[in-house]
Chains A and B, each alone.
Chain A
Amino acid sequence: MIGIKSIASYIPDDFVDNYTQAKLFDETDDFIKNKIGAERLPRKKPEQETSDLVEMAVLNLLKKCPELDKSKIDALIVVTQNPDEEGLPHTAAIAQRKLNLPTSVAAFDVSLGCSGYVYGLSIIKGFLETSGLKNGILVTCDPYSKIINMDDRITSMLFGDAATATWMGDNPYWRLDSISYGTDGSGSEYLKLVNQKLLMNGRQIFNFAATQVEPNITEILKRAGLQPEDVDLYCLHQGSAAIIDAISRRFPSVSERFVKKMTNTGNTVSSSIPILLEEELFNKNINRILICGFGVGLSIATAIITEVGKE
């Protein structure tokens, strides 16, 4: 059975101070702390490409997991909508060269935003199992600093750069259980690139999260035969503090189990869920986690992961 063995991340040292930004937009410190939820937004260096962040995340994973030799890596999947240069060739191939991975590796990109990690887990699991392969790395890396207009109050205070790498392999510590997907392309215009800059209809994205996540979670719990209390932790995409609050209040009996942790990262798109999981995978008190990504598309994916054994 293929599942999660480990997760590592790379968060750039450089950052934008969000309190300073707030003053430019005539917003309060309270708004930054309690509504946006991010005090600093990590930023890659201008000369860093997406594949450089991918490389750093994978190197951090290899450092964390010395038993994972590069020669044993069969697949590298990169979830991004901000690939190197103009997107051709695919970033996964560029990262394969930079990481000096074997040429036998299967490497490809997946174009998804904030739902990308949950989709990616399912894709890499299915890919490895169907192909009879043993070890794959799922990378998330969507540096929105490439496309943010810093004069835009809606997006400039939200997004941070980051990359994560998840080792998927045999004899995992966590297995992927129930999973569900959803897409509503009628909302595709609400988060899109226009002239290479990100344009977001904040209200409609908020609406989507506030109204569509709850039924998705409720449905997957029902399908799995679980009550909300049976899940130890709810690791949702960290869109903003206000979005997490709007969702968690719909689950009053377990609202304190919804993780809200983006103070030093901001909204890192598809990386936000694995950044949370990296901290919790080996927490002895946590045995079942619900993950849910939602955003660009509009797209949503929800899954339950369950511990199957820890070191």
Chain B
Amino acid sequence: MLTEQDVIDIIIDLNICANKDSISSDISLKSLGVDSLDVFNILVELEIKTGQKIPDSDVDKLTTIQEMVEYFS
């Protein structure tokens, strides 16, 4: 099962958010300064961690950490 902390760890490990204190589960990743290529990176790591493929059609649904956790729950 994927937790909020798992996603936060991925974001921190990828070093893609300048202000780590601003990360919270319900804020849109875009507002944290996460760009389209950062999202690709996060999704790759989520797929590796969960062993599940994320179809392209679902990508637009994953805009916050919370949505990512719920997607894999």
CB of B37 within 8 A of CB of A242, answer yes
* Residues of A participating in the B interface, judged by any CB pair closer than 8 Å: 27-28, 31, 35, 201-204, 206-207, 210-211, 240, 242, 246
* Minimal beta-carbon separation of B13 from chain A (angstroms): 9
| Chain B residues with CB under 8 A of A27 | 35
Query: In terms of DSSP, what is the predominant structure of the interface of chain A?
Result: helix
In the bound complex, CA of A28 to CA of B34 (Å)? 12
Count B interface residues, CB 8 Å: 12
For A211, list chain B residues within 8 Å (CB): 44, 47-48
Instruction: Please tell me if the beta carbons of B56 and A201 are within 8 angstroms of each other in the complex.
Output: yes
Are A203's CB and B40's CB within 8 A?
yes
Chain B residues whose CB sits within 8 angstroms of the CB of A207 once the complex forms: 40, 43-44, 47
Give the residues in chain A near B37, CB-CB below 8 Å: 31, 35, 206, 240, 242
Residue B41 contacts which of A31, A202, A204, A210 (CB distance < 8 angstroms)?
A210
Complex: A202 Cα to B41 Cα, angstroms: 12
Bound CA span A242–B43, Å:
14
Q: Which residue on chain B has the smallest CB distance to residue A190?
A: B56
Assuming A210-B41, A211-B44, A246-B41, is B56 touching A203 (CB within 8 A)?
A: yes
Q: Give the residues in chain B near A203, CB-CB below 8 Å.
A: 40, 43, 56, 59
A210 & B56 in contact (Cβ 8 Å cutoff): no
- Cβ B40 vs Cβ A202 within 8 A: yes
